[in-house]
Chains A and B, each alone.
Chain A
Amino acid sequence: GAGVSQTPSNKVTEKGKYVELRCDPISGHTALYWYRQSLGQGPEFLIYFQGTGAADDSGLPNDRFFAVRPEGSVSTLKIQRTERGDSAVYLCASSLSGSGEQYFGPGTRLTVT
């Protein structure tokens, strides 16, 4: 079956611009996660959705970052007034609620120039 998909695969934007990153989870997975992976580092948690609601957004670095999941499936990570330090690979994962095992998408590589 189809895995987690993310679009775009690459995004280059100028400092100060607004970007949206999209994640399509595995069908039927109620839990969705966003992580950020900087070069040479492990992924770092950003936010976790259970259904439509954000169950834990403690990893969002500041109020420029926001994520939604209005229908409990597709999620969009939104970054306002991008900064060069936001450059990273943004990974999305989904899981069946309660199973624990998260399945990761291919990621979106964001470059802020």
Chain B
Amino acid sequence: ELKVEQNPLFLSMQEGKNYTIYCNYSTTSDRLYWYRQDPGKSLESLFVLLSNGAVKQEGRLMASLDTKARLSTLHITAAVHDLSATYFCAVDREYRDDKIIFGKGTRLHILP
């Protein structure tokens, strides 16, 4: 059974600091996703990582994927208050075009 674990589940940090959210998954997968969700809103796709060693960056967020370790990271550089949200890691099953399995999410609170 494919499982996704994120840590930490809650993170409070000061503006200007750097931090990393970790995502481990249990079996082989060929796509890893990072989503952002603001309170009361739906999911916003941030990154789709397709292969080992993939790295993508958008503004202050950078995501990477290590398929051998079954680990993805979401790194936040010089955090700003606007990045406060819940971030979900998700994977789908290798060779299947169907359901996505989500982690529980990391609730990020950035203090001004």
Interface, chain A (partner B; CB < 8 A):
31, 33, 40-45, 48, 55-56, 59, 91, 95, 97-98, 100-107
A31-B97, A104-B42 known; A42+B48 contact, CB < 8 A: no
Binds A, one of B11-19, B63-71, B102-110: B102-110
Q: Can you list 23 A-B pairs, Cβ within 8 angstroms, ordered by A?
A: A33-B98, A33-B99, A40-B105, A41-B105, A42-B88, A42-B90, A42-B104, A43-B43, A43-B88, A43-B100, A43-B102, A45-B99, A45-B100, A48-B98, A48-B99, A55-B98, A56-B99, A91-B42, A98-B97, A102-B100, A104-B43, A105-B42, A106-B42
Residues of B close to A102: CB separation below 8 A: 100
Contact of A97 among B45, B97, B100 (CB under 8 A): B97
Give the CA-CA distance A6 to B97 in the complex, in Å: 23
Q: Which residue of A is nearest B96, CB measured? A: A56
Q: Which residue of B is nearest A98, CB measured? A: B97
Tell me the interface secondary structure of chain A in the complex: loop
Give the CA-CA distance A12 to B74 in the complex, in Å: 37
Give the CA-CA distance A40 to B88 in the complex, in Å: 11
Tell me the interface secondary structure of chain B in the complex: strand
Beta-carbon contact of A101 and B104 below 8 Å: no
Give the 10 A-B residue pairs with the shortest CB-CB distance, closest first: A42-B102, A45-B99, A104-B43, A106-B42, A104-B42, A48-B98, A43-B102, A42-B104, A42-B105, A56-B98
Residues of B close to A40: CB separation below 8 A: 104-105
Which residue of B4, B33, B48, B98 has the most chain A CB atoms within 10 A of its CB atom? B98
Beta-carbon contact of B100 and A107 below 8 Å: no
Residues of B close to A100: CB separation below 8 A: 31, 48, 92, 97
Contact of B41 among A31, A59, A106 (CB under 8 A): A106
Give the CA-CA distance A55 to B96 in the complex, in Å: 11
Q: Which residue of A is nearest B40, CB measured? A: A109
Residues of B close to A44: CB separation below 8 A: 102
Beta-carbon contact of A101 and B43 below 8 Å: no
Give the CA-CA distance A107 to B24 in the complex, in Å: 27
